[in-house]
Structure 1
Amino acid sequence: MRLVRRILAVLTIGPIVLWLLCIAFVMLLGFGFDCEIHEGFANPCVVLGRDIGETAYSMGVFAAWGPLIFGPVSLGAGLLWGIAIAVSRYLASRR
């Protein structure tokens, strides 16, 4: 049961952490390196001599649309996580 709770915790918290990291990365590129990032198309973004425009574009799309894509997954896993905790506490109290 502990493994199930850990898996559900990762499925609940993991996408949120990835989304926040993408937001931080896009903001760093936008403000720190003066890259233009939007959802229309990939713009050139040169950081330390390398063009990471496609990566910045992909992360920008995920930062913008991440909650719509992974929100239901995180919400469902969070509900299952809560149910798993409630069931394990109920079974522990019956012993």
Structure 2
Amino acid sequence: MDKTTRTYTKEFKLEAVHLVQTSNKPMIQIARDLGIADSTLHHWCKQLTEHGAQAFPGSGHQTPQEEELRQLKRENDLLRQERDILKKAIGIFSHGPL
């Protein structure tokens, strides 16, 4: 049996936790209504309580600083690739006609 990992947006998680906090329904019922496991919803509630605004940082469970570092490293790699391509092009075109 294949298990697929579903990902949920930060907004979805915040809304789900908000439903738990404001609704008179039990957490298990809210989780069923949303189509998620009750343990998942409990974990989201715990994360929001512990981390506040820093909860649910995004892909890879990264803090904003880690995400910025990842993006800067990616940009650096792309710039290196572009530089290397330009160096090769200069080498090819500087030889002149054959």
Higher strand share: 1
Bigger Rg, structure 1 or 2: 2
